[in-house]
């Protein structure tokens, strides 16, 4: 079963589980005409009938989402346009989480349709509402034990928002020992199409998600940098230097900052191993655990220093 089939099944099960006994967002009793008749009216020759059916289907809320999704796949251009309009309204205008969840899942399903005009319209709705989508996905990731870190205005990787220059920007996500979402929880990460960094913390090649799931996520988000890290955390960003690895970023409160590292320091050795670049640092850190005390050889200007660092933990 492919991903689209799985998504359709999920929408169907979701609709059964959440559908109220009456029209979803309204207070009415048994609605007449039925959802099926209203969907048929979306393709009516009369504009008034199409408009009335569109409004009535919006009022049905989550109960109408599954039949609307299947109708979009099989219907005319007029039906597809109106289904996307209804789903957009449910996604952005409803006050009910169940309705918003169902509409979002439906739009994701249609965005993967092999009918290009339909998938493009669904994808446009999701991208237009990316901030809302990001906020909801992050809430779920945090609920499942993932850690979301943000770039602030003082961070060199921060890109100011045109409308809100001080708005924090999602920097990277860490899935470590506290991750309870397993492979299935990656559906929320998948919604963050603008995310640049995902770190998986665990010893060796083991970690919070399977290798296969990580590969599938990478295929879905080709611009996402997915890196497996050991459980120990230093808290720096590094760049190339002739003598080793230069510190270009320090995370406030993390192990390196607490040990006295400065921006501009050059790490030449760590735990007795030469550190020529950032990849070497990452590889060597995997040999240590949170709480381990390790010596760093650091060049600061013309002075060579030794800094004792108590390794932190990815969080």
Check: CB of residue 182 under 8 Å from CB of residue 200.
Answer: no
State which of 176, 195, 229 marks the end of a domain: 229
**Which phi and psi (to 5°) does residue 180 adopt?**
-110, 0
Helix, strand or coil for residue 111? helix
In this structure, the answer to whether residues 151 and 184 fall within a common structural domain is yes
In this structure, the answer to whether residues 119 and 142 fall within a common structural domain is no
User: How many domains does the chain fold into?
Assistant: 3
- Output DSSP code: residue 102: H
pLDDT value, residue 202: 75
Q: Is the dihedral of CA 73, 79, 85, 87 positive or negative?
A: negative
In this structure, the answer to whether residues 150 and 91 fall within a common structural domain is no
106-127: pLDDT as tens digits: 999 999 999 999 999 999 999 9
State which of 193, 208, 229 marks the end of a domain: 229
Residue 204, pLDDT above cutoff 60: no
Residue 135, pLDDT above cutoff 80: yes
In this structure, the answer to whether residues 51 and 75 fall within a common structural domain is yes
In this structure, the answer to whether residues 264 and 298 fall within a common structural domain is yes
Q: Half-sphere exposure of 244 toward its Cβ, with a 13 Å CA cutoff?
A: 20
Q: How far apart are CA 108 and CA 242, in angstroms?
A: 47
Find the radius of gyration of the CA atoms of the chain: 25
In this structure, the answer to whether residues 253 and 162 fall within a common structural domain is no
Average pLDDT, the chain: 87
Ranges assigned E (strand) in 167-301: 169-175, 197-201, 225-229, 232-233, 236-241, 244-250, 266-270, 273-274, 293-300
Whole-number Cα distances in Å, 279 to 14, 142, 194, 227, 286: 44, 28, 24, 11, 11
Looking only at the bridges linking them, the beta strands covering 225-229 and 303-310 are unpaired
Q: How far apart are CA 247 and CA 262, in angstroms?
A: 7
Beta bridge partners of 308: 295
In this structure, the answer to whether residues 107 and 142 fall within a common structural domain is no
State which of 73, 106, 128 marks the end of a domain: 128
In this structure, the answer to whether residues 109 and 140 fall within a common structural domain is no
In this structure, the answer to whether residues 25 and 44 fall within a common structural domain is yes
In this structure, the answer to whether residues 124 and 24 fall within a common structural domain is yes
Q: Which domain holds residue 21?
A: 3-128
Contacts of 99 (CB under 8 A, 6+ apart): 24, 25, 61, 62, 65, 90
CATH number, domain at 256? 2.30.42.10
Helix (H) or strand (E) holding 123: helix 116-128
281-298: pLDDT as tens digits: 988 998 898 999 999 999
In this structure, the answer to whether residues 109 and 24 fall within a common structural domain is yes
Q: What is the mean pLDDT of residues 241-245?
A: 95
Helix (H) or strand (E) holding 306: strand 303-310
18-47: pLDDT as tens digits: 554 444 444 344 445 899 999 999 999 999
Helix, strand or coil for residue 233? strand
Helix (H) or strand (E) holding 307: strand 303-310
Pick from 5, 62, 70, 9: which is nearest to 39 by CA?
70
Q: What is the mean pLDDT of residues 158-182?
A: 81
DSSP 136-205: HHHHHHHHTT-EEEEE-TTSTT----SS-TT--EEEEEEE-TT---TTTTHHHHHT-TT--EEEEESSTT
In this structure, the answer to whether residues 209 and 239 fall within a common structural domain is no
pLDDT value, residue 315: 66
Q: How far apart are CA 4 and CA 118, in angstroms?
A: 14
- The pTM score is 0.74
């Amino acid at each position: 079963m492919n991903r689209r089939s799985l998504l359709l099944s999920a929408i169907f099960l979701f609709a059964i589980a959440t559908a109220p006994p009456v029209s979803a967002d309204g207070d009415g009793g048994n609605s007449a005409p039925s959802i099926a008749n209203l969907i048929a009216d979306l393709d009516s020759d009369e504009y008034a009938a199409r408009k009335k059916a569109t409004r009535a289907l919006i009022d049905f809320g989550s109960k109408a989402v599954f039949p609307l999704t299947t109708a979009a796949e099989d219907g005319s251009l007029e039906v597809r346009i109106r289904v996307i309009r209804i789903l957009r309204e449910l996604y952005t205008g409803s006050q009910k989480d169940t309705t918003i969840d169902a509409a979002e899942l439906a739009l994701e399903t249609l965005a993967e349709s092999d009918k290009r005009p339909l998938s493009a319209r669904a994808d446009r709705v999701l991208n237009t509402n990316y901030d809302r989508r990001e906020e909801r996905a992050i809430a779920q990731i945090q609920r499942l034990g993932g850690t979301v870190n943000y770039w602030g205005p003082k961070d060199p990787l921060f890109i100011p928002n045109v409308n809100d220059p001080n708005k924090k920007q999602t920097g990277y996500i860490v899935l470590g020992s506290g991750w309870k979402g397993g492979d299935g929880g990656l559906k929320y990460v998948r919604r963050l199409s603008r995310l640049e960094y995902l770190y998986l913390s665990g010893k060796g090649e083991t970690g919070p998600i399977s290798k296969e799931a990580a590969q599938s996520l990478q295929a879905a988000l080709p611009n996402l940098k997915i890196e497996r890290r050991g459980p120990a955390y230093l808290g720096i960003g590094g760049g190339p230097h002739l003598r080793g690895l230069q510190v270009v970023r320090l995370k406030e409160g993390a192990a390196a900052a607490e040990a006295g590292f400065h921006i501009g320091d050059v790490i030449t050795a760590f735990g007795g191993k030469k550190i020529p670049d950032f990849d070497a640092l990452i590889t060597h850190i995997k040999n240590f655990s949170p709480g381990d005390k390790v010596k760093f050889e650091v060049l600061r200007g013309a002075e060579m220093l030794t800094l004792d660092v108590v390794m932190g933990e990815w969080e």
